[in-house]
Structure formats: C-alpha cells, structure tokens
Amino acid sequence: MADPKSDLIPHDPEPRVGLPPGSVVFVGAERTHPVTFQVLGYGPGHVAETTETCVDEVLGSRDTTPVTWINVSGVHDASVIRSLGEHFHVHPLVQEDIAHTGQRPKLEAYDDLLYFVVNMVYVDDREDETLHAEQVSLLVGEQTLISFQEAPGDVFDPVRERIRTGRGHIRDRGPDYLAYALLDVIVDHYFVVLEAFGTRTEALEDVIVEEAPTDVEDDLHDLRRDLIFLRRMTWPMREVLSQLARLESPLWDEATRPYVRDTYDHVVQVLDLVEALRDTASGLHDLHMTAISTRMNEIMKVLTIIGTIFIPLTFIAGIYGMNFEHMPELGWPWAYPAVWGMMLVLAGGLLLYFRTRGWI
Amino acid sequence: MADPKSDLIPHDPEPRVGLPPGSVVFVGAERTHPVTFQVLGYGPGHVAETTETCVDEVLGSRDTTPVTWINVSGVHDASVIRSLGEHFHVHPLVQEDIAHTGQRPKLEAYDDLLYFVVNMVYVDDREDETLHAEQVSLLVGEQTLISFQEAPGDVFDPVRERIRTGRGHIRDRGPDYLAYALLDVIVDHYFVVLEAFGTRTEALEDVIVEEAPTDVEDDLHDLRRDLIFLRRMTWPMREVLSQLARLESPLWDEATRPYVRDTYDHVVQVLDLVEALRDTASGLHDLHMTAISTRMNEIMKVLTIIGTIFIPLTFIAGIYGMNFEHMPELGWPWAYPAVWGMMLVLAGGLLLYFRTRGWI
Amino acid sequence: MADPKSDLIPHDPEPRVGLPPGSVVFVGAERTHPVTFQVLGYGPGHVAETTETCVDEVLGSRDTTPVTWINVSGVHDASVIRSLGEHFHVHPLVQEDIAHTGQRPKLEAYDDLLYFVVNMVYVDDREDETLHAEQVSLLVGEQTLISFQEAPGDVFDPVRERIRTGRGHIRDRGPDYLAYALLDVIVDHYFVVLEAFGTRTEALEDVIVEEAPTDVEDDLHDLRRDLIFLRRMTWPMREVLSQLARLESPLWDEATRPYVRDTYDHVVQVLDLVEALRDTASGLHDLHMTAISTRMNEIMKVLTIIGTIFIPLTFIAGIYGMNFEHMPELGWPWAYPAVWGMMLVLAGGLLLYFRTRGWI
Amino acid sequence: MADPKSDLIPHDPEPRVGLPPGSVVFVGAERTHPVTFQVLGYGPGHVAETTETCVDEVLGSRDTTPVTWINVSGVHDASVIRSLGEHFHVHPLVQEDIAHTGQRPKLEAYDDLLYFVVNMVYVDDREDETLHAEQVSLLVGEQTLISFQEAPGDVFDPVRERIRTGRGHIRDRGPDYLAYALLDVIVDHYFVVLEAFGTRTEALEDVIVEEAPTDVEDDLHDLRRDLIFLRRMTWPMREVLSQLARLESPLWDEATRPYVRDTYDHVVQVLDLVEALRDTASGLHDLHMTAISTRMNEIMKVLTIIGTIFIPLTFIAGIYGMNFEHMPELGWPWAYPAVWGMMLVLAGGLLLYFRTRGWI
Amino acid sequence: MADPKSDLIPHDPEPRVGLPPGSVVFVGAERTHPVTFQVLGYGPGHVAETTETCVDEVLGSRDTTPVTWINVSGVHDASVIRSLGEHFHVHPLVQEDIAHTGQRPKLEAYDDLLYFVVNMVYVDDREDETLHAEQVSLLVGEQTLISFQEAPGDVFDPVRERIRTGRGHIRDRGPDYLAYALLDVIVDHYFVVLEAFGTRTEALEDVIVEEAPTDVEDDLHDLRRDLIFLRRMTWPMREVLSQLARLESPLWDEATRPYVRDTYDHVVQVLDLVEALRDTASGLHDLHMTAISTRMNEIMKVLTIIGTIFIPLTFIAGIYGMNFEHMPELGWPWAYPAVWGMMLVLAGGLLLYFRTRGWI
C-alpha cells in the first residue's frame, strides 16, 4: 500500500542493493498485523471454507477439491512466502517479487505455474480521499490459486460470494477462470477510482470556470474538451474499421470490402481533422494569452504615462503650497508663470521621452 | 447517450463490480421509454416493414426474406436483450456489452455472428449544441442484422429509405452490406459534428483575433495554422508515395520505381521542413511572450521609479502645507532650504538604491 | 480548391449523408466554369494535341498513340465523370472520390487501373498570399492517363512542354512515367510554398526579435533554432548509417561493418545529446520566464509598499491643508505633533502588515 | 565520472577527430591515480583474492580457478588496456571504447567475448549531492570477467562479499552469472539515486505548495500527480492482459480467453479515460492561468481608471493651493466654479476615452 | 553550405520545377571558385598524390593503384559532374542529387556503385560562430571513391594524412573502408559542434540563473536537468538488457536469462519512475508560475484598494486647500464635518464595492 506521493520514491530499496537474487525481503511500509490465510476449496458441487493463521495448517489441510484458492493477507513475513514457495516449487525470484512490493505488473509463465503481479488501486474514504495502490500477486497452478494481498481487505468478497452461492460458471471452471475473475474485480476497481477522479475534475472545473470572468476562454475550454471527447470516440472506430477491412469471415462478403475501406478512409480523415482542430484550438489559447498580456501592457502604459507626468507636477505644486514664512519665491512677481513654464517643459520632456520609447 | 462532461465519469460502474461476467445490466442514464422494434425484411424484389413493441412478436413474425433487419430502440430492458440473445445464440459477454453502454468501439468475430460496437456522435440543437454520443451495437448473422440504439432516432432513415425505394445495390446484397451502410451513415455523422466544431473554432478565432491588438501574434497564428494545414496535406502524400514505391502492378513499370523513390525523398524533405518550421514558429511565440513580459517590466519600472521618488516627496510638501497654528518649523528662517535639502537627499538615496538593483 | 481556414470545416458533407455509395456528387466550393479537356497523344516519334469541351468528342477522338493523356479541368460536372468512368470501367466509389473533393491522398490499385488522389498546394499571389489546396486525381491505365484538376491551371505546363519538345525520356515511356512526372511537379510545388513559409517565418522573426529588449531570450531562441537544424541534419544520418550497417553488397566488405556500427553509435549519441540539449534549452526558457515574472513581482512590491504607505499619509496632510474657517483641530497646540504621531503609527502598522505577508 | 552539466558537453572529443579507429586514447576528466587490479579467482569450493598494481603480474598470476574476475580501477592508462586487450584478443574498437568514457551503453557479442558498456550513476554526498555517472565496461570470456571502472570504488563490494562467503549460487556459476550480478548491483544503484530525486521533488513540492496562496491550483496539481500515478499503474496492466490474451499454456484454458479479452478492453478503456482526464486537467490549468491573468487585468483597469482621472485633478487642485502672492486667478470671482467646471470636463473626457477603449 | 536560417527556406527550388528528372542543375548559394580535384592513389605499399583543375586530366591520369580517391571540391559546375558521371556510369538522378545541394542524407545501392549523401556540419569561427551545413556526396565503386564537397576545405586532411603515413589499416583496405573513414570524420565533427552548443547552453544558463532571484525555480531547473541526464543514461541500459535477455551465445548460459529479465524489469521501472518524476517536475513548474501570478494579483490588489480609496479623497482635500478668495463653502460652519462625512461615505462605498468583487 502506498499513497502516490510516497510512491514516487521507491520504498527504501537500499537494503536490497547487493543481496543475492531471490532473497525474500519485504520492502514497503512497515506492517505488523499477523498474516492470515483464507482457504476456499470448491468444485461443481461443493464449497469448503476455512481461515487459518499458520502456514503449516494451510499446507496440511489442503483437501482434494478440484480448485483450492489460498488467499494470503500480508506479504511482510518472509518465512510464510518461503514455506509456500518451497511447497509449490516457486522460483526464488518470484518469491522475492511477491515480498518486494512496488513491482511493475507483469506475467511470467513457468512450466507448472503462472505468476502475475498486478496493482490494485483504491481511494480510501477514511483518509481524505487519498489514492492507494496495493500489489496483488497471483500464482496459478494446476489445481491451486494462491493470491497475495498486502493487507486484509474485502476486495475479493464479490468473487467469494459468487463461489459460495454458485452463481455464474465459476464453480465449474479451473483456477485460470478464478484468476480471471480476480483480475476482473481488480480492473473494475479502477473505474471506481476513475469516477472519483472525474468528480474531482468536475469540481475543479466548476471552481475555475466560475472565477474566469471571460466567456471566450470558457468556450475555448469547452471546445478543447469536446475535441478530446471526440478523439476518444473516433480512435477505436478506426481500429474497428481497420480490422473489418482485413476480416476473413464467411459472414463478410469479399465484395463489401472496398466499401469498408472507403468508410475507413473517412474515419482517418475525421481523425486528421480532429487533430488539426486541436492544434488550432491550442494555438487560439496561445493567441488569447498574448492578447491578454498585450492588453495589460496597454492598460499599464496609460497609467504609467499619466502617473509619470502628473506625480512630479503635483509635487511641484505641493512645494509652493507649503506655508513656510521664509520662501522668497512666493513673493516674486513672475514666479507663478515661471512655475507653469517649468511644469510645461517637464511634461513636454516626458511626452517626448515616451514617444522615443514608442509608447505613444 | 452521454454528454461529454458526464462521460468523463464512467457511468456508475460500481453496481457491476463483482457481478459474474455476462450479467446483462443496463448501465447508463436512466431511460423509461418503451423499447420498440422496427423489423424490415427485404430481398431483391420485395420489402416488408413492421414495427413491434414486444420481443416475442418480433421473433415470431420473422419471415423468410433473404435479409431481415431488426432495429431495437432502447437497451435498458435486460429481458429484451436476453430473449434476442438466446434466440440468436449471442455470447453472454456480448449481451452484457450491448446493455452496458459506454463501451469502447470494437469488432468481435464469432463463428455464426459478427458483433460491432460503435459510437454515434451528434450535436443536439435543442439542447444548446451539446455533443452527444450514443452506443450503437450491430449483430450480423447469416440472414439477419440486429441493430441496437440507446434511444429512438432517425439516423438510419436514409438507409431505410434506400431499401424501400431500392436505390443503389442495397437490396441485392446481404446483411454485411447493410452493416456497412449503417456504419457509413454513422461515420458521415462525424463530419456533421466536425462542421459544427469548425464553426465554433472559427467563431472563437474571430473573437480572439479581434481582441488581439497586435498584428505580430496574429500573423504568427496564421502561420502556425497554415503549417498545420500543410502538414495535414503532406502526411498522406508520404503514404501514397511510399506505397507507390513498393507497388507490384503490371501497370507500373519497374524502371519508374527509382524516380518515385526520388519524389518520395522530396516529400519526406517537405515534412522535415514543415516540422522544423512548426518548431521555429512555436519558438517565436515563446520569444514574443517573453518580449511582452519584458516590455511590461520596463513600463512598470518607469512607473515605480517615478512613483517611489515623488510620492514621499509630495507627502513632505503636504506636511508643510498644513494649516496648524502651532507648527514651529514654519517660522524658522532656514526651514525651506532644509526641506529642499532633505528632499534631494531622499531622492538621491532612492536613485542610488535603484541603481544597486540594476533598475536604472 | 480550399483555403486552409474553410478547409477546417469539411465542405458541407451533409448532402452526402445517407446517399448510396458511388453517388457522383460534386462537393466543394461552387464552380460554374465549363469543363475542358486537353488531350495529348504521344509516342517516341510524334505528338498530337487537341482541346475539347465535350466529353463525347474526347472519347470519340481517342487515337491510337502509345500514350494518351486526357487532362480534365473541372470535377463539378457529374455527368462528365460518369461518362469517362463508364468508358474506362472505373469503380463507382472511385468516380465518387474524384467528384468529392477534399479526399485524403491515397493510392488504390485495381486490376486494370491505378487510382491516385493527391493534393496540390499553391500560394495565390493575387489573393493576399492565401494558401490553397486543390485535389488532383490520376487514373493510370494501360495506354491512358486521365488527370482531373478542380480548376484550369498551368501547373502541368512544364510536363506538357517536355512532351512537346521531346526533352528527357518522357516520350519513350508509358503512362506510369507520365504519372510520375505529374506527381513530381506537384511535389515540387510544395517547395515553392515552403519557400513562402520560410519567408513569412523570417519576417516574423525579424519583427519579434527587434521588439525583444533582451539579448538572453534572443540567444536562447537562436540556440533552439540551431538545435532544430542540427536534429534535422542528424536524423537522416542515423538512417543512412543504420542501412549501411545492414547493407549486403559486393562493394561493401563484411569486415568494415563493425566500424560502421561504431560510427552509427556515435550518431545515436549525437542525437541523444541534441535531444538533451533541446530539453535543457526549453527548461531555460521556463526558468527565464519565471525570472521575469519574479522580477515583476519585486518591482510591483516596491511600488505597492511605497504607495500604500505614503498615499494615506499624504491624504492626512491634505486634510489639514484645507482652508475651512471652522477647523477646530488647527488651533489646538498639540495637534501638529499628534498628527505626526498618528502618521508614524499608521506607517509602522503598514510596515508590520507587509512584514507578516513576507513582502519585506 | 561526469557531473550532468559538464556531460552535456562531450568530453573534448576533438583530439579524436581523424585518429585511426582503434586508437586507445583516454578521453574524460583527467585522472592521475595509479591503476589497480583486484583479481578474484573462485570456484564452487574455494576463493583466492589478490590486489596487483602492475598488469604483467595480473596476467602472470592468472590461476586456473573456474572463474577469474579482474577488476581494473582506472581506464586512463592506455598501455594497461592495450596489454589486457592483446592478451584476451579484444577487438581494437572495443579497447578504444573502454578508454573513451562517455559511451552510450551497449552490448557487443564477439565469438569468444561479450562486451558491455553500462553507466553507473550515484549521488556524491560529499559534493553537495551532485549526480555522477561513471562508465563501467565488462568483458565476459569463457572463464574470465574483466570489469573496468573509471575510479576505485566500493560499488562491487556486496558482490565480492557474496563470493567470499559463498552466499547464494554465485560460486557455482560461470562468468555470465557474475556479469549479471554486477549489472544488477549497478541497476540497484539507480533506485538509490531515484530516491534522492524523489526527496528533492518532494522538498520542492513542499516549498512551492506553501507559497501558492490558492487552493485551486493546489488541488489541480494533486489531481495531475494522481493521474500520473494512475497511468503508471495502468500501463503495465495493459501489457500483462495483452500477454495473457495471447498466452499458450496448459495452465490457461482456451475458453477463458474471451473473458480475458473483455478485461483487456476494460483496461484500455481505463487508459483512454486517464489520458482524457489528463488532457482535461491540463486544459483546466490553462483556463486557470487565463483566469488569473484576466483578473489581474480587471484589477489594473480599476486602478488605472481611478488613477488616470484623479491624479490630474489633484494636480489642478494643487496648483491653486500654491501660496504665490501674484496669482491673479485666485481673486477672480468665478474662478472657483470655473475650476470645478474644468475638472468635470476633464473627468468626463477621460471616462469617454475609457468607454471607447472598452474598459468601462 | 547554408546557415541554418536560410536553410529553412529551400534553396530557390523553383528553377527545378518541371525540369526533366536527371537534369544536373546546381541549386544553392552561388559559388564561383574553380572546381579542383585532389587525386590520391594508394595501395599497401605506395601512395601517389596529384591535384588537378581539369576533369579530363583526372580521368586520363587515373593510374592503376588498388584504390583511387578523387576528391571534388565544388559541385556548381554541372559539366564536371556530367563528365565524371558518364565515365563512371552514374545514374542521372544521382548526378542530379550531387549538384542539387540540400538533399536529405541517404544511401542508394546500385549494382556497381554505392551512393551516399551526408551532411557535414561545422561552426565557422570567423563568422560569429554561425552553424554551417555542407552536403558531402560519396560514390563508392570497385576501386574508386569519389567524394564531392561544396567548397574546398580541410576536413578530410586527417584521413589523407593517415593514408600518406600509412598509420592504421587504411592502406590495406578497399574504398569501402575509405568511405567509412570519411563518414567517421564527418560524424566526429558533429561532436565538435555539440561542444560549441554545450558551451552556449551553459553560458545562457549562467546568465539566466544569475538573474533568477529565487532559489526554488533554480532548484527545479537543476532537478529537471538531472532527470534529463538520468533518462539519457537509462534508456540505452534498457536496450542493452533487452538484447541480453534475448542473446544467443555460448558465453551466456540459458539459466542466467531469468535473472537478466529481472534486472531488465528493474530498469523499466526506473524509466517509469523517471518519466513520472519529469511529469511531476513539469507540474511543479506550472504550480510555481501560478503561485507567482497569484502573488502578483495579491500585491496589485493591495495597491489598487489603497490607491482607489485614497486618491479621490486626497483630491477632495486638495480642492479645499485651494486659495481662491471666493469659495463660499470655506466659510460655512458645518463644512468641515460635512467634507469628512462625504469622505467616509465615499471610502465606505468603495470598500463595499471591493467586497462585492471579492477582493477583500
């Protein structure tokens, strides 16, 4: 289990540096809960379910049902993984990968065992909607499936329920179908997370759109979002039609093929246009940003010109508004016109300066 | 049917999590309209058309025309899909996909059935030009085509009309040609949507260009748009010439091939240049934005220097312009020159400060 | 013919929605000029050239020269395309594509006919340098080449001239070589357009560089442009050396191969470095923009601090500079020091406020 | 050894230009430490370890253990590489690559020798956490492995320790397993570096998030980071399911395949959605930036309007607040109302000007 | 020879439009220097070197050394290329490509001739460090190599020197090895150019970093640059390990393969993390920019609020500070409190306005 932030940092891998490969060392957030085992044996007609806390009992109690599913909650106890690994002839590197959480999902096929690592993601409501990822390892054997979770959880409950009640085909099939069912449940959880993400995106959209005091950028945003949507709709259409144009099927007449190719060309043209429109819309955003910045420049230029001219003049007027008793200029007869002249010269000089800078 | 916004959130998929695969559960915006069936049987010589509201009548009334097209308007009634599915031996996963709208378009070929999911997009004029997507599923059998729409609509009317009037080859061909005709109509609707998008883009372009008080960025935008256009023209040329250089045809002499390869090289060179020009134009935008920001800095610097110097000086002048009776400084003989001195020192100090900051 | 802007919107495709495939309907800007036919028959020894305005005469007058090139200027008359199409056994979908301008370039090989669509681009000097695209369709048969232009134009004149004068090999070769020659002329026109684009880019560059009052960003722009250039030089080198490392030729000794692989490694290293430098340069632009924005913040902070402190103080000084007869404060003996005290408290409070905000 | 900055510049390659290929010239930061040789011979039962400083002793002392590992610390002495190279029949180009540090990692297979170049990265704590890269070359022969490091270091110590103590299988295996063990140690060091990078990223994140006075952008950043995380989780899931859908294994029933394909479709859909959400989030950032800029424009407009109107008016008031003895206007009876009138006209004119500019 | 700027515009290709293919027309910057020929015949034992200025002498003097290298300096004289071309049976299109500089690098294999075009880049120190590209064409025959440079230059001197002195294997090998040696010299020149680019990048980095008054963005830039470096180190590692996992060699035991695959997984994980960190760092830059802009908004808001409130108030105070003799208000007993009241109402109204706008 890792929140996305701390996952950016690999979980203190240093202790592993230089260990012989196949060393089973748990790497991840520290966990102390005891490891539990849920053992579920089933076949077309019957189900047997026990929960153990000791690996030896699990291996001892293995009955002879067509399928036995051992769910191990906790991978922080290296001895458990080693015991199970030895019993089921699991390659040491696989044992290491089970314990070393934070693996990249992968599939490895051995002669008598398939090994999957997948990531389960979920949003923890209790902890301020943080996103969590948990590594789930599956070992698929002839008659056995062993699943490893990092912590006890109820994510596999729906599958368990289906086995108990015998709904669907699950009891009639082997461990591979069970593996599929578990993968499917995990992938379905991604949609739950995505829904939370969609909600977050929309909430942000509402806040941001509200604060945007201009319709233009709003409309532009809508356009871009709609184009994203349209592309998402069209891309797989292209795949479908490309497949169809190459389809060999008794149901699909050879003579219809050129027509399909024609429709395929249309879809490709749609995609070309969507991409061109997206590029254009992105260019429009750039243009709009430049327009806003340029307008700001214009506004500031007006303020600066007015301020730069009148602030010094007001200062001069302020000087001769002072009430000192000994200000000889105040008594001179030509002082007032002289001050006016000085002010005009100053203002004219500033205007000239602005003109040379190209501001007016 | 989904508007793009709500589609960013998968349609409440939670109820599905953990259901056995093949469970037919409608997932999507709630619908209550009754499901209707338009049955159209036709062959080279004749056409028979009925509209049913009950699935049993549809299955019962199936006549023996070479092609029977059953159009189902509404996928929210699981029993309907199940009845049809059982009658035509449709795989449970396919039944699930028909009901579970929001699928990615795909093509699946079974032994006696082809299954397509495609997205139909359209702009609803009544609802403020929002973009809608609707999942259309097609089942193509030996003599039957079943199409599923989410809601009744008139999108297939032109095809129906062509069948009724016998225009084109449609009556002489099988269900595969009918499937093509429906796909073609759906893809053609993308162009209608694109036209609406083009109009929106142009309207925004007009507004934004108008507000841009500078020609430079305008010209730059034109240049970039033209380069997008040129690339869109050139890319497929490359494909054509590449195909031609490898073409095996009695109509195309081996000796002409090196010449074609030469022209192909030219087109690749054109593409290289277009990409380089696009990168350069994008760099020019960056340069322009920096120029605008730097200019703003210059403008603000002038205002700040003038303001920072004269606002405090004006304050000082204001102080001695107050009319209090008891202001001893006013009577001092050297007060006026002292104030001037103080002001000059202050102004000089600020100028020095600006120089150390590199502003002047 | 379409200018890039209007081409973003597909040319009113709605009339086509639902038409049977193969319907020959002209889609594009409306044209009314009469369709003309330039017929050029030639062989190693002779040339015969006529211009017709009626399709029947064209088909009737077809003489028995080894190659006959029929150039059709105008695709807006459906009957013309249909007549030619029937005479030369052209597939209805191809006939439709010839009339339906705005196709994506493509090559389709039929048993007795090759069909190309290509785009010709050109800049119209008369219309303010707008970019135009015109669809050119070529039908290559055993002894015939039919070319379709949207409007009469002189783009093929150089080829015609070469046929007339017998320069080069063109008269000794078949219609495939003629098709190549036409394609080559069309691709060469892309370079003319690119030249116009290069000029536009440079003109913009001059304007923008001139207005940039800082050398840094200028140099950065130069660096990025040079890196674009260097990448454009290096990419194809990589292809050449990769080909060479796999070359099977009596002229190329097996023993030289490891050396070539070594040079290939060097070129790949050059590309890695160029990409890394481009990323770094782009990061430098970001850094520079942030620096400019931060500097602006600094400038504005100074102005705001000075303004916020002194504007209210000046207001207070202004109050007591008013000349009302009844202002009791003016006569109080401690009023002047009290006002000073008030001002100092106010200024101190503001300074404290700025400190808590982290501005000073 | 190179810090990333200086590595952007290839290490003075000029001296190499034009040298015959296979010239062993050390290229890199200058080094003067003496080259040392750690020779470790081992087999299932025994270990022999010596450290030499002279290449002849190394070649002379080579005993007959199943595996001999010669670790050369220093590649700046061309004669050493040449001696070893001649003794073990190393291709001159390989000798050159060993000495010419800064190679791109590569693998070359010769008949009796495998040659690897890999980069070892590490963060040097002593030097302000700068990132270093060092070229490590490995030569794998029948019974010998020669490793070349640029400088003496303890990176291979864990492997040496494992050989000494006989932990794991390493002593039972050949030089290929030893090569693997060294590669593994080098790759594990990347994780250590990544951890340092994660810490740097988080530290920056803390600083930047703290200074952001708005929650919106913060939330947006969180959303984008979570989407990066989700994509990183989902991409490899896609690979796993795609592999699984094509898996041929007795453990995996053919009949389960369509179900897996269904889950695969779901994962692809998840990826589509994640990408669409990422694009949308990036669009939201653009929208937010525009909103901020537009708001700034609004703020500045208010300041500019108020300032532009009242600063000149205050100047006029300041004029008639001056205390000159000879200001004839002051005595005129209508002067006061005239000044008011002038002010109103000025203010009205400015308001009109702002209206024409669209500011109010 | 072309500087990158003018190269964005193809070198006036118009004269070529419509010429028959294979027309040898020089296209490029005009050159007038006479074409010179350096002929170097060599074999294991001897070397003969002459310099000619007339193509006939070159062809006449061709002696019977095992290898003859003819270096042609200048491709602007079409007759020279034609003479050589005819003598050595060079395809007309190849002759055209030699003269038509600005080609994309390519390799063409004919039966008795290999033809390369490559670009040589170099920085001209005399001309303000502009980047130049020159097309070099190589024709490799059985016993002859002809190289074409655009202008005389000393780039091939090191190779010539090696031939003269007999260093390395060059004299013992055929023209293919000579071709390799020339390619190698050309590629090595790319590193010289890259070094100049690295220096330019660093110089800019120094300037920009210096002007950035904030550490945060600086650190962020360092982080991003280090990540670019790390990715550049890791990518080729991935290739090496992928090759190794598929390696078939007697030196590489089958049993070691799973371990290598494990290490390969680690490297892929490193790359995933590096990419995620790069995306995060880029998001941090966005966040930082927004923070700066938002802070600017805050600063401006404070200035605007203070300015907007006090500038009008100061104006009012200024009004009643005027010294007109006839200002009736000055004598009214309640005038002073009335002005205060008016001012408070005005300030209160503005505060209310700012509150409704959400500024305070």
How close D189 gets to chain C, by Cα (Å)? 22
Could you report the per-residue pLDDT of D65-92, keeping only the tens digit for each? Answer: 889 999 998 888 888 899 998 888 888 8
Does the pLDDT value for residue C6 go beyond 50?
A: no
Dihedral, CA of residue C109, residue C111, residue C113 and residue C119, to nearest 10 = -10
Given an 8 Å threshold on Cβ–Cβ distance, is D104 in contact with C269? yes
Q: Which of B21, B104, B106 lies nearest to residue D272, judging by beta carbons? A: B104
Where do we find the tokens 């009634």? B77
φ/ψ (deg, to 5) at C99: -80, -35
CA distances from D183 to D141, E246, E266 (A): 16, 16, 11
User: D197: pLDDT confidence band, cut at 50, 70 and 90?
Assistant: confident
Given an 8 Å threshold on Cβ–Cβ distance, is E263 in contact with D180? yes
For A296-356, CATH gives 1.20.58.340
Kindly give the interhelix angle for A257-319 and A215-245, rounded to the nearest 10 degrees.
Answer: 160
Averaged pLDDT for residues A242-260? 79
Q: Residue C224 carries which DSSP code?
A: H
- C-chain residues within 8 Å CB-CB of B225? 4-5
| D160 SS3 class | helix
Report the CATH superfamily, name and number, of domain B294-356.
Magnesium transport protein CorA, transmembrane region (1.20.58.340)
**Nearest to residue E74, comparing CAs of E123, E14, E141, E28?**
E28
Report the distance separating Cα C18 and Cα B163, nearest Å.
11
**CATH C-level class of E298-356:** mainly alpha
Q: Which of E9, E176, E224 lies nearest to residue C283, judging by beta carbons? A: E224
**Are residues E107 and C243 in contact, defined by beta-carbon separation less than 8 angstroms?**
yes
Report the distance separating Cα E21 and Cα E92, nearest Å.
8
**Are residues E285 and C282 in contact, defined by beta-carbon separation less than 8 angstroms?**
no
| C155 SS3 class | coil
Cα C336–chain centre separation: 72
Fold of D295-356: Methane Monooxygenase Hydroxylase; Chain G, domain 1 (1.20.58)
In this prediction, residue C14 carries a pLDDT of 43
**Are residues D35 and D147 in contact, defined by beta-carbon separation less than 8 angstroms?**
no
User: A13: pLDDT confidence band, cut at 50, 70 and 90?
Assistant: very low
**Nearest to residue D329, comparing CAs of C175, E323, B339?**
E323
Given an 8 Å threshold on Cβ–Cβ distance, is E21 in contact with B272? no
Given an 8 Å threshold on Cβ–Cβ distance, is E93 in contact with B259? yes
Within 10 A of B261 (CB to CB), how many other CB atoms are there? 17
Q: Which of E220, E234, E297 lies nearest to residue D204, judging by beta carbons? A: E220
Report the CATH superfamily, name and number, of domain C211-291.
Magnesium transport protein CorA, transmembrane region (1.20.58.340)
User: C11: pLDDT confidence band, cut at 50, 70 and 90?
Assistant: very low
Could you report the per-residue pLDDT of C239-279, keeping only the tens digit for each? Answer: 888 887 888 877 777 777 777 888 888 888 888 888 888 88
Which residues does B347 contact at the CB level (< 8 Å), separation at least 6?
A: B309, B313
Could you report the per-residue pLDDT of B101-154, keeping only the tens digit for each? Answer: 878 888 888 888 888 888 888 877 666 667 788 889 999 988 899 999 988 877
Averaged pLDDT for residues C87-105? 85
Residue B89 exposure: Cα atoms within 13 Å on the Cβ side? 8
In this prediction, residue D13 carries a pLDDT of 40
Q: Which of A91, A104, A106 lies nearest to residue E272, judging by beta carbons? A: A104
**Nearest to residue E78, comparing CAs of E97, E60, E105, E63?**
E97
Which residues does C167 contact at the CB level (< 8 Å), separation at least 6?
A: C161, E20
User: D110: pLDDT confidence band, cut at 50, 70 and 90?
Assistant: confident
Same fold, E212-291 and E298-356: yes
**Are residues E197 and C228 in contact, defined by beta-carbon separation less than 8 angstroms?**
no
Given an 8 Å threshold on Cβ–Cβ distance, is E21 in contact with B262? yes
Report the distance separating Cα C261 and Cα C263, nearest Å.
5
How close D24 gets to chain A, by Cα (Å)? 33
Query: B–C: how many Cβ contacts below 8 A?
Result: 283
Please determine, looking at this structure, whether the domain spanning D4-192 carries the CATH number 3.30.420.10.
no
Which residues does A317 contact at the CB level (< 8 Å), separation at least 6?
A: D315, D318, D319, D321, D322
Any idea what the Cα angle at residue A43 is, between residues A42 and A49, rounded to 5°? Answer: 15
Q: List chains touching C (3+ CB pairs under 8 A).
A: A, B, D, E
How close B212 gets to chain A, by Cα (Å)? 5
Could you report the per-residue pLDDT of E259-280, keeping only the tens digit for each? Answer: 788 888 888 888 888 888 888 8
**Are residues C132 and C138 in contact, defined by beta-carbon separation less than 8 angstroms?**
no
- D-chain residues within 8 Å CB-CB of B4? none
**Nearest to residue E147, comparing CAs of E89, E64, E73, E65?**
E73
Does the pLDDT value for residue E341 go beyond 90?
A: yes
Given an 8 Å threshold on Cβ–Cβ distance, is A104 in contact with E321? no
Any idea what the Cα angle at residue E312 is, between residues E311 and E317, rounded to 5°? Answer: 95
Sheet with strand A130-140: strands edge to edge: A47-52, A36-42, A67-73, A144-149, A130-140, A113-124, A106-110
**Nearest to residue D326, comparing CAs of E326, A328, A335?**
A335
- Could you tell me which residues of chain C have a Cβ less than 8 Å from any Cβ in chain D? 258-259, 262, 265, 268-269, 272-273, 276-277, 280, 321
- A-chain residues within 8 Å CB-CB of C10? 269, 273
- C-chain residues within 8 Å CB-CB of E18? 157-159, 161-162, 185, 188
Report the distance separating Cα B116 and Cα B82, nearest Å.
17
Does the pLDDT value for residue C137 go beyond 60?
A: yes
Report the distance separating Cα D105 and Cα E195, nearest Å.
21
How close C233 gets to chain B, by Cα (Å)? 10
- E-chain residues within 8 Å CB-CB of A321? 321
User: B62: pLDDT confidence band, cut at 50, 70 and 90?
Assistant: low
Report the distance separating Cα D77 and Cα C339, nearest Å.
83
- C-chain residues within 8 Å CB-CB of D8? 273, 276-277, 280
Q: Which carries the bigger pLDDT value, residue D290 or residue B12?
A: D290
| Among C265, C286, C308, the residue to mutate for chain D (most D Cβ within 10 A) | C265
In this prediction, residue A5 carries a pLDDT of 40
Averaged pLDDT for residues D309-336? 88
Query: B–E: how many Cβ contacts below 8 A?
Result: 21
Which residues does B154 contact at the CB level (< 8 Å), separation at least 6?
A: none
- What are the structure tokens assigned to D31, written together? 């080094």
Q: Which of B8, B173, B303 lies nearest to residue A198, judging by beta carbons? A: B8
Could you report the per-residue pLDDT of A97-119, keeping only the tens digit for each? Answer: 888 887 888 888 888 888 888 88
- Could you tell me which residues of chain B have a Cβ less than 8 Å from any Cβ in chain D? 8, 10, 21, 91, 93, 103-104, 106, 321
Dihedral, CA of residue D196, residue D198, residue D203 and residue D205, to nearest 10 = 160
Report the distance separating Cα A49 and Cα A137, nearest Å.
21
Given an 8 Å threshold on Cβ–Cβ distance, is D192 in contact with A17? yes
Report the distance separating Cα D10 and Cα C269, nearest Å.
10
**CATH C-level class of E212-291:** mainly alpha
Residue A312 exposure: Cα atoms within 13 Å on the Cβ side? 22
Report the distance separating Cα E102 and Cα E27, nearest Å.
8
User: Which conformational region is residue C80 in: left (phi greater than 0), alpha (psi within -120 to 50 degrees), or beta?
Assistant: alpha
Given an 8 Å threshold on Cβ–Cβ distance, is B318 in contact with C314? yes
User: E167: pLDDT confidence band, cut at 50, 70 and 90?
Assistant: confident
| C68 SS3 class | strand
How close D206 gets to chain B, by Cα (Å)? 28
Nearest residue on chain E to A10, judged by CA atoms?
E273
Q: Which of D262, D273, D280 lies nearest to residue B93, judging by beta carbons? A: D262
Q: List chains touching E (3+ CB pairs under 8 A).
A: A, B, C, D
Beta bridge partners of A280: none
User: E213: pLDDT confidence band, cut at 50, 70 and 90?
Assistant: low
Averaged pLDDT for residues E289-301? 86
Could you report the per-residue pLDDT of E140-154, keeping only the tens digit for each? Answer: 988 899 999 988 877
Report the distance separating Cα C221 and Cα C231, nearest Å.
15
How close D31 gets to chain C, by Cα (Å)? 24
Tell me if ipTM is over 0.85.
no
Beta bridge partners of D56: none
Spans of all domains in chain B: 4-192, 212-291, 294-356
Cα B229–chain centre separation: 18
